[in-house]
Structure 1
């Protein structure tokens, strides 16, 4: 089970308002107690009102008024796009409502990693910029499904344009921005690209197959290992 799916299940369990011990949650979710502890930290970081501690148990102290939504990537893309459109509307009341809605959704959609800086929000970038990123989404999704290499033209955060050949592995929604995780053949390593900074994404004739050290599982294992190492330093 993917960690994001497990977090949704965890919130569903806690919604009964009862005290749940980590050992019981671990057995129910078929994970270790240590994993439950990490998941609780993630939920708290996402603004979910969970209280408790190791050895005592955990309880949801307030109702989540917007229930956890098991949305597909395409549904989240449509939601993000819609809020971006409304945030550019002439009506100040609708603009404020879009920003308020975005904040509420951010708080109830758990993510595997810490949320990016608030400067990534669509409220900071004009809609035209956000729209440019969305135009690549169908191509990226299709390439991930087909396991097709892409020729990528990308503006780095330092505003340097680079040309890459990548193996697209996964897209993720961070509440404020979409990212693409890929194996970069130029760097011979994993890279995470912000979709809104992709200039072009062209499918190549070559398909790719799983190779040791280059798969999504390899990337996730590396991220988990790095996170564990950081926590023990």
Structure 2
């Protein structure tokens, strides 16, 4: 209801509000009374229209894991590409959000497995990123068919722990069992991908730490 009010800068009829919420007029009136009891400045009356004054905030709401991913990626994108004041505002906004998030979602934010890089390419990919994000969050192995820069294909078992988003593409940072080391896999070079039932033996935070220690080195794509 609050979000619906915020979409309207001018008074909106009770009928339109009720239709947008999929509720009856009677329920709408009851909900408006409840919001007023919480401190919302809702002006107007039945048959005329309603308008909510700005400044009202509901208690912290629950974010889904996917919504957290979107918020993190969006904030990092702004912090990377906007001017300094706006970038700093993005970082402060994320700090405020994490202050009201459950601990399991705060962990998802602080891991920062979605980061922003730069690339002029716009590759075509067939990877289901829902599977990739799920494997990262659940620390599951992935089986992939990968084509390197020379066109050579190989089957890999990887332990994904990080995603790097570019302007036109993505990399999966992972421990590669074939190479016995951390490697970065371009998603447009992955022909097949499936999550394995096996959890990888090292914790994701440990792999991220290794990655950060080596991030000054040249990125390896093979």
TM-score interval for Structure 1 and Structure 2 normalised by the shorter chain: 0.3 to 0.5
TM-score (norm: length of structure 1): 0.44
Structure index of larger Rg: 2
Higher share in helix: 1
TM-score (norm: length of structure 2): 0.46
